[in-house]
Every structure is written in C-alpha cells, then in structure tokens.
Structure 1
Amino acid sequence: MKILITFTLVMLGIFANAQNKRFTYEYQFVPDSTNVSDLKNEVMNLDVSESGSKFYSYTVYNSDSLMKIDVEKQMAAGGMLNLKSNNRRGLVRYAVTKKYPKYEVFLQNRILRDQYNVSEERPIVWKITSEKLKVGEWMTQKAETDFAGRHWYAWFTTDIPIQDGPYKFHGLPGLMVKMEDQTQSHRFTLKAVKNISSIPKDVFGANEISVNAKQYSKILKDYENDPARGFKQAQMGGAIMVTKDGQSSNIKDQEASIKEKIKKDNNKIELD
C-alpha cells in the first residue's frame, strides 16, 4: 500500500496542471531474419496520462488521419471514393495500452475486419544491474529481462520517474530511454519529450473484441493459414478485387501475395 501511495503522489506531481506527456521513440527492427540488412524504421509515440498510457505508431496514425480527411472531402464533394492502398504509411499496425496504477496491459490489433483487445497476463521480471550509460541527454541504468521468447536490455532514467516504456514493458524505477533485444533486431530509442493536451482516442475504434492471449493466438494462426478469407467473403458479396494499378485480381493472387508477406515477417517482437 505504501508503494502504491508513493507512486500515485509521484504521478500527480508529474501531471500537475493537466499536462500529459508524449515520449517519441525511434523503432528500428528487422522483420525478416533471413535478410538482416533490411532494417526498418518507425516513429512510435508513448502518450502518458495520470490514468495510463498508449503506445502506437505515429507514422500509421498520421497516415490514417490524412486518409480520413481525404474520404470526408470526397464524400462532401459527392464524388466516387478513391482509396489507394499505397497512400497508407507505416508498418506497425498494433497499439498497446496500460492502465495505471496496476499496469494492466492490453494489445490492440486488427485482423481482417475485426479489432481485438488482447489482455497480457505474463509478468515482467527485471534484473537491475550497476551498469550506467548516457543515452542522449539522459543518464541511464541498465536492466535485463526475458519476455515472450527474447532476452531484453533496457536503459532507464530516474530523471523521468514514470515506470513505463515502449511496447508492453514497464516496472522499472524510471522511464525506459533505450531498449533492445539480445539479437539487436528490435531496438527502441527515445528521441523527444513534449507536453500534450490529450491522448488520441481514435487510434483504435471502440468496437473491439476482448480476448485472452490463447484465444488471440488461435485467431492469428487461423488468419495466417487462410489470409484470403476476408477477400473470399467480400467476393461472395459481389465485391471485385483490384490491384494498386486498378487491374482486376483473383483470390489466388491475393492469397499468394499475403502469404509471401507473412513468410517474410518471421522475426516478430514476440517469438512465443
């Protein structure tokens, strides 16, 4: 109880005057373990308020926001909708939310037309070392943990007394400024800190399906085994599949394309 009260008082001090915080990270990752030279980059936001945090791709969120504006303009003009898939930017389609002070963790992700809210029940157990490192303007201390099939190194700073970090990670006595797994195929580095008026509420919609990790794993496996199921259902409803250049496309071509993408996305942040 004493720890909880102390944490609450610290959080109230940080968020005095209703100033929410945005921590912007550079996320570098290798999606295909057979092609380690193909390093991807994504701009990720960790938006923190007194009640919790939301971690999501700024690249995806900004792209989707621009697409939404385009759709509204086209509808207002009464013209035909022109939704080009190549206008979408960003590779990290999921988001992670945490609820304070218990740090309940949830992964939000879309599979086909459905949005899922997946509860995370695995604890994160840290080993804090004596090693220090200056990362940017922050003096940090190193910690280690094993999570979801990877060994992780984290550098946290007590100068920012928020027990949060990128993705699902939390529980250190300060914000995680840098994180990377042992293979160095996933790395998060803090690049900027700013005050924000509010956390975006429409990163994911309200119509989410709540599932546990086991249920979500089965849903994901079913999708990977039959990724064209959504196209098949749409075609049964009379929809016509087209490619980016406007040419018609059949289900087999769509399925082959998606399976090839899944095959190359074999180095996910969670291995088990």
Structure 2
Amino acid sequence: MKSKFLVFTLLFNLFIYAQQKGIIYYGQINALDIGNAKGPDSNAYMVFNKEQSYYVTAKDSLEKVEKLNQESTFENEEGNTRSIHLGIKVSKQGDQVVYNIAKKTMWSNLLYRTQVYIKEVVPEMNWKIEKVTKKIGQFNCQKATTFFRGRNYTAWFCPEISVPFGPWKLHGLPGLILEAYDTNKFISWYFKSVEYPTKNLENVKYMSIPHGISIKNYNEFLNFQKEQQIKTIEKNRMAQKQFPNATFNDPIAANMFLEFQ
C-alpha cells in the first residue's frame, strides 16, 4: 500500500512539473524598411510549459489606440531626417506562433493584407552558443547566434529557466530566450518581464483557425510571398505610367516579410 502511494505521489509530482506554466512579456520592433530598431514597437507575450509555447503580438487588445497612427522623425547616417510612420498593424487574433515539442510541429499566422495561416515541421536552428554573458533584468543570460531564413540572429537565453522557447519562431536553446535581434535590427525583441511559474489565467493554447480557411505549408507560404511581390511590382508599373516623373522602388521580400528565402 505504501509503495503504491509513493508511486502515485511521484507520478503526480511529475505531472505537476510537466504542467508548470510560465509567461514572458516582450516588446517586438519591426523595422523592416530602415533597420536599427526604428519601427513600430508592439507588445507581445508568450505562455509556455515544458511541452508547448504560444506566442502572440500585433493583437488589438494589447495596444493603445494612440499607438496605431504614431509617427516619428529619425536621422539617417547622412544626417538627413526622415519621418517614419510607426503605426502598428493589428488584428483581433494578432500574429501568433504555436510550437509543440512532441508533435514536432509549428503553427503560425500573420496579417499581410489578409490573414495567412501556416503549418510546418519545426525548423532546425543551428545555434552557436558563446561564452559571452550579460544580465537582463535579474537574470544571467548567455549569448547564442544562428542564421535562420534570411537573417543572422543573436539571442540571449536564460539557463535557469530551462525551456527551449523564445519569441516568434526562435527556439532550441537550453534556456528561455529573453532578448533577440538580427544583425541590422530589422527585427528585434526585448525583455519586459517574466513569471515562472505563474498563476496567470492565460492558457498555453492552439490557434483558432476560422472554418473554411486553408492552411499553407512553408513552401506554399514562400509562393504567397512571391505572388504579393509580383502584385506590388505590377502596381508600381501602372503607377509609373501615370506619374512618369515619380520613382517607384520595387519591393524585395526582406522588406515585406520577417522570414524569406
């Protein structure tokens, strides 16, 4: 009887450990047009346990109305000033990423003129972990670098929170990623706060995909990128005929989407 009780206690403790939940709050800066972290600054958070993570940003309920039409003026390297629209594009559900370790699957969606939903096998990220450390908040973090879908990323992860998750699709390090950015800071995430474990009522959940909406695999998403690029180029050609003295720059994927090939 005693041995059964000990087995039950052990299994119960393992279950509680597996279900232990955390939540981390980030800021996400999208500066795809000029880099240097000069762009819309969105609120973001990620809920996670030992098995799965749920990340969301660009969600209307996370932002204040006045941020949606914000403008700022920046000075470039030549000393010229430029007015940048920093308004945040938002949707009701936000841009989301769900990563399930056991299923080796990643679901994501983003708003690009329309809502796009993607399902893919978890992409491999070949991290190079360095001995460089720094403190973020009260946490001692370690540096790691990788190349992922068009960009070189630096991440700072926290070994004492030993889950392999991070903002957006960044994953695979032996600790929670608190901060990350690409070389030119066209995209960057900065740390605000974390609760682990947490009693926050937000669930580690899956995305809610509307009925009848098709889900793209990653190759289909790349085709979608090309289609959007071609459509914009065609619009530029038509505009050029109407306004021959104006200059219309054709878009490149790196300035349109977070990930590209």
Query: TM-score category by the smaller chain?
Result: 0.5 to 0.7
**Structure 2 vs 1, CA of residues 152 and 11 (structure 1 numbering), >3 Å: closer, same or farther?**
farther
User: Given that residues 130 and 144 in structure 2 are in contact (C-alpha distance below 8 angstroms), is that contact kept between their aligned partners in structure 1?
Assistant: yes
Considering only aligned residues, what root-mean-square deviation do their CA atoms show, in Å? 3.9
User: Given that residues 114 and 209 in structure 1 are in contact (C-alpha distance below 8 angstroms), is that contact kept between their aligned partners in structure 2?
Assistant: no
SS at match of 1:159: coil
Measure the CA separation in 2 of the matches of 1:202 and 1:190: 23
Give 2:89's aligned residue: 91
Q: Quick one: which amino acid aligns to residue 270 of structure 1? A: E
Give 2:126's aligned residue: 125
Q: How far off its partner does 1:268 sit?
A: 3.8
**Structure 2 vs 1, CA of residues 114 and 123 (structure 1 numbering), >3 Å: closer, same or farther?**
same
Measure the CA separation in 1 of the matches of 2:126 and 2:15: 22
Measure the CA separation in 2 of the matches of 1:31 and 1:226: 19
Q: How far off its partner does 1:202 sit?
A: 8.4
Measure the CA separation in 1 of the matches of 2:17 and 2:205: 24
User: Given that residues 22 and 46 in structure 1 are in contact (C-alpha distance below 8 angstroms), is that contact kept between their aligned partners in structure 2?
Assistant: yes
TM-score (norm 2): 0.66
Measure the CA separation in 1 of the matches of 2:143 and 2:99: 23
SS at match of 1:90: coil
**Structure 2 vs 1, CA of residues 28 and 113 (structure 1 numbering), >3 Å: closer, same or farther?**
closer
Equivalent positions of 1:236-255 (< 5 A) are none
User: Given that residues 54 and 96 in structure 1 are in contact (C-alpha distance below 8 angstroms), is that contact kept between their aligned partners in structure 2?
Assistant: yes
Q: How far off its partner does 1:191 sit?
A: 0.9
1:60 aligns with 2:91: no
SS at match of 1:225: helix
Q: How far off its partner does 1:27 sit?
A: 1.4
Q: Which has the higher helix share?
A: 1
**Structure 2 vs 1, CA of residues 106 and 11 (structure 1 numbering), >3 Å: closer, same or farther?**
farther
Give 1:40's aligned residue: 40
Q: Quick one: which amino acid aligns to residue 59 of structure 2? A: V
Q: Quick one: which amino acid aligns to residue 211 of structure 1? A: K
SS at match of 1:154: strand
Where in structure 2 are there 5+ consecutive unaligned residues?
1-12, 70-86, 233-238, 240-247
Give 1:15's aligned residue: 19
Q: Quick one: which amino acid aligns to residue 94 of structure 1? A: D
Q: Quick one: which amino acid aligns to residue 88 of structure 2? A: G
SS at match of 1:209: coil
Q: How far off its partner does 1:215 sit?
A: 1.0
User: Given that residues 166 and 176 in structure 2 are in contact (C-alpha distance below 8 angstroms), is that contact kept between their aligned partners in structure 1?
Assistant: yes
User: Given that residues 52 and 204 in structure 2 are in contact (C-alpha distance below 8 angstroms), is that contact kept between their aligned partners in structure 1?
Assistant: no
Q: Which of the numbers 210, 213, 218 marks the counterpart of 1:213?
A: 218
1:150 aligns with 2:151: yes
Report how many aligned residue pairs link the two structures.
Answer: 214
Percent identical? 20
Equivalent positions of 1:137-176 (< 5 A) are 137-176=138-177
SS at match of 1:266: helix
TM-score (norm 1): 0.64
Measure the CA separation in 2 of the matches of 1:41 and 1:193: 19
